């Protein structure tokens, strides 16, 4: 039985084609290959490997050229997630294959590839959040004088406006957008440290290679290798969980506002601006004498 994420009927209810493309298997493999190509090109610029080798590696770094079934079988046999792809890339590069993955470690390629996938996906997601925030803000303005009952403990309370309700949604979504943008900034860091995190294989050229590697990928340079630190990933996961929680709250309120009593009340009270004074009578002066 298919899940809601891959079901032909329901997958767009709980996901989108854009997100599936950003995180499907080909995109993951392409992220790894982009990291391998950037590494080779950076090393060639510094003179660590021949330029011809870097060109051939970049040419062969196209995910559609690799058989995913063969890679899956290779992973099952080697019990390693990246070795089968490296071997396939080496084979395709012929004599230049000796320079594939030079000085790198698995986590360098897989972490950097993951960051590239996130970089591709987050702008789309952030724009959807901002669009929802703008819609809620517009709704708040349009219904600034549309009266409705407030709720306390699930019961009708004092009057409020639907505009205030929508303004609360817009306000929360603006904070969600800020968190997502911050998480995107935090995770947009390349990873390159070699097996021990020292880049010792590259010797005196390590710093120059790292600088060019990051520049080619459009990622920030790490202060130190971070493959054992997952806080950047946790920041992203937390921002996504906050987005999910906000969406759930807003959806629950929309469902509640569709209740017959609320809907009928709003329809009856849809009155022009400046006509709500009777709902909030002026308090009597404290100087008035009681009868």
The pLDDT score that the predictor gives to residue 70 is 97
All structural domains of the chain with their residue ranges: 16-274
Closest C-alpha among 95, 46, 58 to residue 199 = 46
For residue 227, CA distances in Å to 42, 192, 193, 206, 216 come to 20, 9, 8, 17, 20
Euclidean distance between CA atoms 51 and 41, whole angstroms: 8
Count other Cβ atoms within 10 Å, centred on residue 261.
9
Cβ burial, residue 162 (10 Å; 0-12/13-18/19+): buried
Q: Which residues contact 153 (CB under 8 A, 6 or more apart)?
A: none
The pLDDT score that the predictor gives to residue 211 is 98
Euclidean distance between CA atoms 114 and 108, whole angstroms: 10
Closest C-alpha among 252, 84, 116, 276 to residue 188 = 116
Main-chain dihedrals φ then ψ at residue 149, nearest 5 degrees: -80, 135
DSSP 205: G
The pLDDT score that the predictor gives to residue 290 is 43
- Domain spanning 16-274: which CATH class is it, in words? mainly alpha
* pLDDT tens, N- to C-terminus, the chain (291 residues): 777 777 888 888 888 889 999 999 999 999 999 999 999 999 999 999 999 999 999 999 999 999 999 999 999 999 999 999 999 999 999 999 999 999 999 999 999 999 999 999 999 999 999 999 999 999 999 999 999 888 888 788 899 999 999 999 999 999 999 999 999 999 999 999 999 999 999 999 999 999 999 999 999 999 999 988 999 999 999 999 999 999 999 999 998 888 776 566 666 656 555 554 454 445 454 444 443
Reduced to 3 states, what is the DSSP secondary structure of residue 188? coil
The pLDDT score that the predictor gives to residue 270 is 60
Contact 177, 130 (CB under 8 A): yes
Euclidean distance between CA atoms 282 and 264, whole angstroms: 27
């Amino acid at each position: 039985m298919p899940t809601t994420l891959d079901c032909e009927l329901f997958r767009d209810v709980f996901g989108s084609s854009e997100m599936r493309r950003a995180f499907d298997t080909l995109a993951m493999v392409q992220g790894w290959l982009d990291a391998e190509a950037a590494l080779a090109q950076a090393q060639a610029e510094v003179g660590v490997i021949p330029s011809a080798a870097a060109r051939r590696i970049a040419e062969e770094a196209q995910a559609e050229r690799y058989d995913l079934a063969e890679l899956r079988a290779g992973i099952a046999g080697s019990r390693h997630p990246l070795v089968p792809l490296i071997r396939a890339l080496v084979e395709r590069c012929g004599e230049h294959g000796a320079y594939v993955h030079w000085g790198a470690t698995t986590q360098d390629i897989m972490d950097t590839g993951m960051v590239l996938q996130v970089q591709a996906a987050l702008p789309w997601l952030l724009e959807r959040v901002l669009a929802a925030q703008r819609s809620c803000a517009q709704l708040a303005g349009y219904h600034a004088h549309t009266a409705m009952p407030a709720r306390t403990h699930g019961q009708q309370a004092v009057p409020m406006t639907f505009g205030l309700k929508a303004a609360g949604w817009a306000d929360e979504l603006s904070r969600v957008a800020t968190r997502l943008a911050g998480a995107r900034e935090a995770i947009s860091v390349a990873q390159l440290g070699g097996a021990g995190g020292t880049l010792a294989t590259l010797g005196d050229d390590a710093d120059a290679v790292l600088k060019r590697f990051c520049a080619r990928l459009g990622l920030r340079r790490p202060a130190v290798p971070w493959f054992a630190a997952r806080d950047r990933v946790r920041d992203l996961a937390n921002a996504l969980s906050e987005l999910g929680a906000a969406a759930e709250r807003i959806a629950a309120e929309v469902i509640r506002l569709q209740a017959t009593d609320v809907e009928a009340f709003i329809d009856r009270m849809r009155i022009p601006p400046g006509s709500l004074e009777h709902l909030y009578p002026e308090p009597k002066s404290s100087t008035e004498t009681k009868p």
